[in-house]
Chain A
């Protein structure tokens, strides 16, 4: 699986859009980008995934660059409950063994 790089921490004001970057410059053609988040003392929660097109669901949007070497998770209107560690994971089609790094600790500021 390709390695990912994320900033260790970020702050965002409540109500604003939170944009979390992820670099995956060694991604290969059949690898998907997945995002999970972990609220303190809970199990990780799946957010969204994509291959090369931008994706949106009820939780977030995922923007993947055309060369697929980086992506951005967007939480459009951040709330205090979005404070969590966010993990960007790249994994092969059909490979369900996820490798979690240390992620980005996002703090939403009231």
Chain B
């Protein structure tokens, strides 16, 4: 069966520090991968999605970036964090190509910027 792992579960970072969040998927090949952010009390906002290695689409301009160095690895990064980057970050995957493929989410990383 397929599983998705995100780490760390919680993270506290100072303003201006770098960020690297990692997401890996097991049990499937060539998944679509997604990064979402959820601010406190708000809905989920899609940040990036990827349909293959090295292929990244950005949905919202910001100081975050994403990379997909391997088929089942998706990384969210920042060179300098802002206070507004605080939130709950979620990685998700889906089977590509079909109309009935739901997204499956990880347990998320709660990021606090001080």
A: residues with CB less than 8 A from B are: 32, 34, 36, 41-46, 49, 87, 93-94, 96-103
Q: Smallest distance from the beta carbon of A85 to chain B beta carbons, Å?
A: 9
Cβ-defined contact, A46 with B104, below 8 A: yes
Residue on A nearest B42 in the bound complex, by CB = A102
A42: which B residues are within 8 A, CB to CB? Answer: 107-108
Other-chain residue from B43, B46, B104, B108 in contact with A103 (beta carbon distance below 8 A): B43
13 inter-chain pairs at a CB distance below 8 angstroms, sorted by A residue, are A32-B99, A43-B108, A44-B90, A45-B105, A46-B103, A93-B99, A97-B34, A97-B49, A98-B46, A98-B103, A100-B44, A102-B42, A102-B43
A98: which B residues are within 8 A, CB to CB? Answer: 44, 46, 103
| A101 CA / B103 CA spacing, docked (Å) | 16
Cβ-defined contact, A99 with B108, below 8 A: no
